Amino acid sequence: MDASLVVLFLSAVKLVAQSDMGYVPVPLHGASQSSTKGESTASLAIDKNPSTSSETECSFNTTLWFRVHFSAPYCVKEVRLKASSKHPHLNWGMQHTDLSVKNTKTGLKSKCGELEVKEGQLDYTVKCTGEVCGDMLELEVHHTQPKYSYEGCIRLGEIEVYSGECPGLAVLVGEECAAPGLVLRYYKY
């Protein structure tokens, strides 16, 4: 029997290997924040390293923010945050932080939810209410006196954003959404 070459063409298919909640991880590209405390830059919240963290300066009567951009527009279902484990008592500064998804092309901003900090807790999941779509996630906190006894600040060990599906016709490949196309595989017999 002669060795023959068989070429198999497969069209892009949506893969089912999604996160444990059936959500797709949103690729995060670039982070920024309103201010930086020491060396705790915004990019440290998306570096997938649990021993690093981002941190804004803390203050009263100032709106502090953290922003992270997506690779494409997504409809966000949930956001998972790990608060900084350095000086965890300072995480109260994130109490009532608003999470919003913004479309930077149209300027439309939709609220996803609000962070409720609990004593001793570092891991949080905020499930978005309603349809919140865009290409950027924004966290904002504003603490005023005497309503709050502690200054507002944003302190993130890590942040992950999840969508219900890949945008457009993209497919999930590993942990990233990829543009559709033909997959070409060669099988030699």
170 occurs within a structural domain: no
Rounded Cα distance, 43 and 39, in Å:
11
The confidence band for 143, taking pLDDT boundaries of 50, 70 and 90, is very high
- Which of 45, 97, 36 minimizes the C-alpha distance to 68? 45
**What is the average pLDDT across 151-169?**
86
Instruction: Establish if 1 belongs to a structural domain.
Output: no
On whether residue 7 sits in a domain, the answer given is: no
Pull the structure tokens for residue 178.
């990829």
Residue 60 lies in a domain: yes
Number of domains forming the structure of the chain: 1
* Residue 171 domain flag: no
Whether 158 shows a pLDDT value over 50: the answer reads yes
Q: Is residue 76 part of a domain?
A: yes
Name the residue range of residue 90's domain. Answer: 20-165
Contact (CB, 8 A) for 74 and 90: no
Asked if residue 183 belongs to a domain, the reply is no
Backbone angles phi, psi at 45, to 5 degrees: -80, -10
pLDDT 10s digits, 43-84? 999 999 988 999 999 999 999 999 999 988 999 999 999 998
User: 124 to each of 83, 94, 103, 113, 155, how far by Cα in Å?
Assistant: 8, 12, 24, 12, 13
* Residue 106 included in any domain: yes
Position with higher pLDDT, 1 vs 83: 83
> What CATH number corresponds to the domain at position 25?
2.60.120.260
Asked whether 53 and 156 are in contact (CB, 8 A), the reply is yes
